A and B are shown apart, each in its own frame.
Chain A
Amino acid sequence: MAMGEPHMKSEDETKVYKPSMASRVYVVWRELKKSKLTIAGFSIVLFMVLIALLSPIIAPYDHRWQGTSGIPPSLEHPFGTDGQGRDMLSLVMHGARVSLYVGLAAVLMEICIGVTTGMIAGYFGGKIDEIFMRFTDLIMTLPTFMLLIVAVSMFEVRNINVIILIMGLFGWPFMARVVRSEFLSLRETTFVEAAVSMGASNWRIIVHHILPNTLSSVIVLATMDIPWYIFYEATLTFLGFGDPSSPSWGVLLQIGYYYLRSYWWIITFPGLALFFTSLGFNLFGDGLRDALDVRARGR
């Protein structure tokens, strides 16, 4: 373009370069690959998810099948059998299904409540922010687990979904805080100013302009919170407030507690499964945080 000519935009110039979803995922993956620990964490998570999904096909026995009780780990039953003669390996595999479902569903609840609260408080600021954040802080300092016990025990029906609901109701404050602080800083950016000057509505700015930018923090936090919910559910179930009809790892640990002195394997293997799942999510979450460059603090 010569100097004196009026500025005419060509077709190519007006087209904004927007990376596709696949290429963005690839960029993150390239960062993730750098750390071996992250790869290890990712593999564990993937392995557990595969087991959970495929457990009806790959489990050696049905989880309701009953044989001789109290067989120690052997070739036939790698994890032994429990007090009712059920195959522990199949039970642990089936437990992965329930426990991962609990983790994912509760995190989804947390995201729904936390992101909504955080974005309203962070975007509108002022009095709304003050009220919302006071409340959030209050919930955050509450002894969550104690109140979980109280809340769950109040329901006569023992249902896994009720537990998930209650865990979600108490678990959101940290997410809200993170989303709020992201919104506070993003609200001042020039692209939001541009959107305002073009007459975009509040809703449009929140959902289309700011929210996508908070995604990486939300993902990292959610990944790191999944093992928490699995732990909480397992602990609640272990204490006898769980849903005995859905055999999560917590139910297996509770059975193992009864047979602590006679059958050591019942308590060992579900616990190891819990441990590895949590390890996987934590390693993967740490790696994700570094790759996405999020300054989220661990709990």
Chain B
Amino acid sequence: MKVWRGKFKLPQKIMRHIADKRKETVGYPMTLRTYIIRRSILIIPSFFVISLIIFMLIHMAPGDPTRIMTGPRGRLPPDVLALMRKELGLDQPLHIQYLQWLGRLLQGNFGFSYVSYRPVLDMIGERIFNTLELMLLAEIASVVVATILGVIAAVKVHSVPDALASLAALIGYSIPNFWIALMAILFFSVQLGWLPVAGLRSYGAIYNSPIDAWVDHLKHLILPVSILTFGWTAYLFRMVRSSMLDVLGQDYITTARAKGLKERIVIYKHALRNALLPVITYEGYSIGFLLGGAAVIEYIFAWPGLGMFMVDIATWRDFPTLMGLSMTICLMVLVANLCADIAYALADPRIRYD
């Protein structure tokens, strides 16, 4: 780290002394790499606690899985049912069942669905990229829009654009996401007929070229992505605005202005970089919350992603699939949090690695 830029330099001896002192007081200085490794190891206990929570959540509830397998009208003799329970390991005590499930999970075996009899992992694999596509697009769009609006609102605080943006944000987080999705379908798809109602692509369409297929897919993306973006932008905007206002009131901004820097440089190089730090953390930790919102949007737009899958199998009460899917989603959230923490550490060298 270069601190002394001028021609005055502290003597080498003093510099070394300071460095030694610092090592003595801090002990072993933790590098970024150690921090990342330590932070990643923290995922393991979280994983076990979450697996326990999910297992208990699903197995504490009353009801017999064999009844789900045989269907609502299924009338099998009790000895057959007992045999089925034995096959599935449901006759074991709960803690044994948990350990068996966990063991299989760690080997990458998520089990088979009680309803479709297909491997759970396959069914998740088919859908995960659809969800990621939707989430990433909306995430990127909302970060960009919220940052631009937030900076404008904070720089021109209490002006007309600020008031308008704040009002829009207020409406954005007061409005139920799924309701606005339905209204959008009603308006754009049913009344005007501009955009397709649901799905990944038009049903039974035959395309002349791959470009046509892409355009069709993009048309289907517009509504869900813009509605998700609208909701998330509202939260992020408030965050960016207040964080930016905080930073703009600090002394070093005054200093930067006093030394005659252009306002543009003060805002984008000095203020924005620091103002975005809390936003990074917020972004990472709100992934779980955002996934929940996305589930409803997926359901409404019949988007074959994890959220819609969750709603479907929850209606069926398909135990192995529910557990596997919940674990997958929780793992995604854990990894997202890890990424946010690492990004924060990379962005802010002042962070205490503890």
When chains A and B are docked, how far (Å) is the Cα of A254 from the Cα of B186? 15
Given A138-B49, A271-B176, A275-B174, decide whether A151 and B57 contact each other with a Cβ distance below 8 A: yes
Chain A interface mostly: helix
B317 is contacted by which of A138, A141, A153, A260 (Cβ under 8 Å)?
A153
Q: Are B296 and A146 in contact, with the CB atoms below 8 A?
A: no
Q: Are A278 and B174 in contact, with the CB atoms below 8 A?
A: yes
Give, as a whole number of angstroms, the nearest-CB distance from B167 to chain A: 10
A282 is contacted by which of B170, B299, B322 (Cβ under 8 Å)?
B170
Give, as a whole number of angstroms, the nearest-CB distance from A277 to chain B: 9
Is residue B238 within 8 Å, beta carbon to beta carbon, of the partner chain?
yes
Q: Are A279 and B171 in contact, with the CB atoms below 8 A?
A: yes
When chains A and B are docked, how far (Å) is the Cα of A192 from the Cα of B54? 41
Give, as a whole number of angstroms, the nearest-CB distance from B157 to chain A: 15
Is residue B35 within 8 Å, beta carbon to beta carbon, of the partner chain?
no
> How many B residues have CB within 8 A of the partner chain?
51
Given A141-B333, A144-B289, A238-B296, decide whether A149 and B174 contact each other with a Cβ distance below 8 A: no
Is residue B235 within 8 Å, beta carbon to beta carbon, of the partner chain?
yes
Instruction: Collect the chain B residues with CB atoms within 8 Å of residue A274's CB.
Output: 176, 179
Q: Are A145 and B289 in contact, with the CB atoms below 8 A?
A: yes
CB under 8 Å from chain B, chain A span 269-283:
271, 274-275, 278-279, 282-283
Interface string of A266-299 (1 = CB under 8 A from B): 0110010011001100110000000000000011
Instruction: Collect the chain B residues with CB atoms within 8 Å of residue A235's CB.
Output: 176, 178, 296
Is residue B151 within 8 Å, beta carbon to beta carbon, of the partner chain?
no
Q: Are B333 and A142 in contact, with the CB atoms below 8 A?
A: yes
Chain B residues proximal to chain A, CB less than 8 Å = 46, 49-50, 53-54, 57-58, 60-63, 170-171, 173-176, 178-179, 182-183, 185-186, 190, 235, 238-239, 285-289, 291-293, 295-296, 299, 307, 310-311, 314-315, 317, 322, 326, 329-330, 333-334, 337
**A–B Cβ pairs within 8 angstroms, 23 of them:** A138-B49, A141-B333, A145-B292, A145-B293, A146-B329, A147-B53, A149-B314, A150-B326, A151-B57, A154-B58, A155-B62, A238-B178, A239-B299, A253-B179, A253-B182, A256-B182, A260-B186, A271-B183, A279-B171, A279-B174, A282-B170, A298-B235, A299-B289
